[in-house]
Structure 1
Amino acid sequence: MESSKRNKASLDLPSFILSGSVLLLFVIVALINADFVANTVDYLFGLSATYFGIIYQITLLGTFIIALVLAFSKFGKIRLGNIDKPEMSTFKWISIIMCTLLAGGGVFWAAAEPLSHFITVPPHFSGIKGGTQEAVVPALAMSFVDWGFLSWAILGTLGTIVLMYAHYHKGMPLKPRALLYPILGEKIMKKSVFGTIVDSFSIIAVAAGTIGPIGFLGLQAGYGLSSLTGTPNTLTVHITIIILLVIAAAISAVTGIHKGIQILSSFNVVLAVALIIGVLLLGPAQFIFNNYFEALGLYMNKFISFNTYRGDEAWLGLWTVFFFAWFVGYGPMMAVFASRISRGRTIRELVITVAIIAPVITTFWFTVIGGTGISQELKLPGSVSAALAEAGPPAAMMAITEHLPFGMAFGFLFLLATIIFVLTTTDSMSLTISMAISGNGHPPRWLRAFYALVMGLVAIVLVSVGEGSVNALQSFIVVTAVPVVLLLLTTFWTAPKVCKDLYEEQKDLL
């Protein structure tokens, strides 16, 4: 029986107040002394990356391996969600997964990260000179490490299995604390200080991870519009973009998964496919395909050593550990969201889609965008790297489109794709935070709109204070990932346990 029937929805005021207070305190202190906030976050970021970096890596690797074992074992046919068939079509389901989980980083980082590794070769490849043909495949392969199989697996496999069991099969509220239900039983779901802390840290982490991209989108879209149209790249433009984004996100979140979120996701998937085809037809298609397959082969051949690399902690803190911590921070709330949209799916469908199909699509997307930039840089050194060095990731994306035929059209379309990626993530996370506060899959509409607007307001305040404050919030998710990773580690035991229980219930049907 679904939890919304057994547990009347009610706002979890302690989690609401605690998570809101931490974010409010962050903003107030940033307004008073932005440098203090930035320095404090940098210090805590360094500590968490140094002492928990290896734990993030172990958690992601373990999650991926256990998920694959469960998916391809006898448990793979178990159907989650207590219904006989999927709630939504496969295309809609995959579209929502791709757009929500990939988010805005999937455009700007797809341009900036491969190019950054191409210019400054990662320490794994000490004998290769940056900016040369030999640096192309290593650059792409290291981008795959950060956005590949492990990063996707932590967002929607083991945690989703546990939450769907607790919510749909046992009637527990759809909250991050339900990840502990197989261990602590119903007492974790009652008025529990520990449960409140678990929910609050999960909400804070995902809010920080979402507010950051909203703020950066204002900065990046402002740069993009200035580059394409000559519009002044001012604070007013940045704030206007963020206001429009959060209004659209609030409307989308209010209409729900089957309307606003699904329509935006489906449209953006079609747009992304069209952009890929356009770049392949008008760009360096042979270069892209050749280097993609070689980079994917290198990534898979060195899979364990790349993902467990500990040789240069400073570099890891800038790249792999940073991204791994970011995805860990999203983990519990993404599991809540994936549980809401995956009802009726089998464990095998869930794992193959989230941990295999989505990463393969993502790595190809990175190669199409980043590989095009690298190809341009090989032909004309400085054509893209100069813009990247001067103005960061948004400049890299615009520089790449400028060198393509119909560059202005490509620039507008890539900018539109980025806006919709961030918009989809914002409305989805507004819905998900609302689910965590209310405890069921159909939270009040006002609550969904409230969180979209609050995240936008925080982003506006931080952008107004200065880009460094947005950077600090972006790094803050790595700090909040510390308690969250301990929560996700429990799924190493609880997910197999849940599978055994569900198998006993369904074995006559499998």
Structure 2
Amino acid sequence: MSSPNTLSSAASERPQAGTDRLVLSLTIGFIVLFVGASIYDSKWLASLIGEGFTWTAAYFGSFFQLLLLGTFFVAMAVALGKSAQARLGGLDRPEIGRFRWLSMILCTLLAGGGVFFAAGEPVYHFLVSPPATATEAGTPAAVAPAMAQSFMHWGVLAWAVLGSLTAVVLARAHYGQGKPLQPRTLLFPVFGERAIQGKLGAIIDACCVIAVVAGTVGPIGFLATQMSFGMSELFGLSDGFRTQLIVLVVLAAVYMTSAMTGLHRGIQMLSRFNVFLALAIAAVIIVFGPTLFLADTYLQSMGAYVDDFFTMATMTSQSAPDWWMKWWTVFFFAWFIGYTPLMAVFVARISRGRTIRETILAVAILAPVATTLWFTLLGGSGIYYQLNGVFDLTNALSNFQFDVATLTVAQALPGGTFMAAAILLLTTIFVATTGDSMSYAIAMVGSGHDEPHPGVRVFWGGAMALMAALLLYMGAGQIGVLQQFIVLTAIPVSFIILPSLWTGPRAARALAEEQWLV
């Protein structure tokens, strides 16, 4: 194995590539086309994407579910095998400390929507019983099934697909074989150089970047609306586009600065601060909130999650309403699939020196456990207050107003306005961590190596913020339309990550053989 903090020979000999102009052209072309179509006829665009969303959910929903299930179980098999002792990235010891590394992993995905849905989704499933349960909605018996359904959407299946097998494939090909750190490299073990060179590789990368742009601009835009509403309720500021624009400018400045300073400064610092703030909020809820109710809810919900795991994971429109599958399970699973290649690039980059076992267990087990705990603290508190008549979120959640749900739950927590302001700050920084990590990852894809130029990172961060601003100017509904579009992008992306089901174990075996571990 290589000496500490030394690149493997293949990676060290790899030339530093320039920006891929075709990837840049296709991605910027998508942004311009989407915004232009929204300006020209927003209703037509919304209708077109809505029809595509419905068609995708109907014909690819089951495939997405099977892909996530297969990825999780194959990843667990790899993590428990002998090959899992091999280290990623050609280093003998980790490049980034464990706490910082875990913080970066956790903040990147949880910010993509987990914080936005953590308070409202469990309450929604409490008020509208999920198809997997026959319990009466709004009763004490509905608490555990509601939380369990949220665990299904944000648990092991979601996390495993994001950075387990795909990260192993990319790390081995990039650091061991000198291939570019780009989504196209996921298909190198199958198609060889044909997947790397020429227009095919650029199209593969562009599809993956477009999926992430769609998935990241959404949370950025939703945060602006959530912050605008929150500041209006808490501090009396006007709730409108001007406030939303100010939020966007501040948010973009934070995550663009973080991305520009790189992995070892801004991105790490922002993630660590976010984790500390989340721990402080969690401590307040545990000490002063409905502690016993939350503890009992977590245990019962985790039991229900394990017991009904396959029922919830494999439920289709044959046994559940079409609208429910479309807007919940399929939507979330497609969202995670769309994020996967860029998250894999990011995880492969920050996990240099980590063993395969460490990486897979951190992503597929530890991060989901942390996520379920966070959902229980916020969502479980929301259910408690709803159950006891402190507030009524029925109308808000029937209209999918999760910004209203988050603020309502936050204000009911110990500390009232102070806690609400803290959660709004936490949400802002969580989204900023998604913005900086995805800006960095997109820049890596465009350049093909793991230290992209700071200006390229800033450019992509600014492009996503600008797109969010333009869509918000036309109405918050256009952000929702873009969120639906990520479901369509999941179709090509799913076929890009599908081979990792068998190339992932092969890459792990090859790394172990190269390091004389098997």
TM-score (structure 2 length as normaliser): 0.96
Give how far 1:106 is off.
2.1
Q: Residue 401 of structure 1 aligns with which residue?
A: 410
Q: Residue 24 of structure 2 aligns with which residue?
A: 16
Residue 46 of structure 1: which of 51, 54, 62 is its match?
54
Residue 148 of structure 1: which of 142, 145, 155 is its match?
155
What value does the CA root-mean-square deviation take over the aligned residues?
A: 1.3
Which ranges of structure 2 fall in alignment gaps of 5 or more residues?
Answer: 1-8
- Aligned partners of 2:160 and 2:507: how far apart in 1? 18
Residue 451 of structure 1: which of 438, 460, 485 is its match?
460
Q: Residue 128 of structure 1 aligns with which residue?
A: 135
Q: Residue 206 of structure 1 aligns with which residue?
A: 212
Give how far 1:338 is off.
0.5
Alignment of 1:234-273 (within 5 A): 234-273=240-279
Q: 1:391 to 1:53 in 2, by over 3 A?
A: closer
- What amino acid does structure 2 have at the position aligned with 1:150? L
**Are residues 1:378 and 2:387 paired?**
yes
- Aligned partners of 1:146 and 1:33: how far apart in 2? 33
Q: Residue 173 of structure 2 aligns with which residue?
A: 166
- Aligned partners of 2:108 and 2:486: how far apart in 1? 17
- Aligned partners of 1:301 and 1:387: how far apart in 2? 31
**Are residues 1:438 and 2:447 paired?**
yes
Tell me if structure 2 keeps the 8 A contact 1:175–1:439.
yes
Give how far 1:385 is off.
3.5
**Are residues 1:226 and 2:232 paired?**
yes
Q: What is the DSSP-based 3-state SS (H/G/I as helix, E as strand, rest coil) of the residue aligned with 1:81?
A: coil
- What percentage of aligned pairs have identical amino acids? 43
Q: Residue 355 of structure 1 aligns with which residue?
A: 364
Q: Residue 6 of structure 2 aligns with which residue?
A: none
Tell me if structure 1 keeps the 8 A contact 2:126–2:383.
yes
**Are residues 1:318 and 2:327 paired?**
yes
Q: What is the DSSP-based 3-state SS (H/G/I as helix, E as strand, rest coil) of the residue aligned with 1:121?
A: coil
Tell me if structure 2 keeps the 8 A contact 1:104–1:418.
no
Tell me if structure 1 keeps the 8 A contact 2:270–2:429.
yes
Tell me if structure 1 keeps the 8 A contact 2:122–2:146.
yes
Residue 68 of structure 1: which of 72, 76, 89 is its match?
76
CA deviation profile, 1:145-176 (whole Å, cap 9, x unmatched): 00000000011100000000010010111000
Give how far 1:387 is off.
4.4
Residue 347 of structure 2: which of 333, 338, 351 is its match?
338
Tell me if structure 2 keeps the 8 A contact 1:3–1:168.
yes
Give how far 1:230 is off.
1.1
Q: Residue 481 of structure 1 aligns with which residue?
A: 490
Give how far 1:505 is off.
1.1
- Aligned partners of 1:146 and 1:61: how far apart in 2? 12
Q: Residue 146 of structure 2 aligns with which residue?
A: 139
Alignment of 1:114-125 (within 5 A): 114-125=122-133
Q: Residue 186 of structure 2 aligns with which residue?
A: 179
Tell me if structure 2 keeps the 8 A contact 1:4–1:441.
no
Residue 282 of structure 2: which of 245, 254, 276 is its match?
276
- Aligned partners of 1:284 and 1:326: how far apart in 2? 32
**Are residues 1:301 and 2:310 paired?**
no
Q: What is the DSSP-based 3-state SS (H/G/I as helix, E as strand, rest coil) of the residue aligned with 1:124?
A: coil
Q: Residue 4 of structure 2 aligns with which residue?
A: none
- Aligned partners of 2:62 and 2:494: how far apart in 1? 11
Tell me if structure 2 keeps the 8 A contact 1:81–1:168.
yes
Tell me if structure 2 keeps the 8 A contact 1:177–1:195.
yes
Give how far 1:384 is off.
3.6
**Are residues 1:285 and 2:285 paired?**
no
Tell me if structure 1 keeps the 8 A contact 2:84–2:512.
no
Q: Residue 216 of structure 1 aligns with which residue?
A: 222
- What amino acid does structure 2 have at the position aligned with 1:428? S
The total of aligned residue pairs comes to: 507
**180-189 or 25-34, which deviates more:** 180-189
Q: What is the DSSP-based 3-state SS (H/G/I as helix, E as strand, rest coil) of the residue aligned with 1:103?
A: helix
Q: Residue 190 of structure 1 aligns with which residue?
A: 197
Give how far 1:507 is off.
2.4
Give how far 1:389 is off.
4.5
Q: Residue 99 of structure 1 aligns with which residue?
A: 107
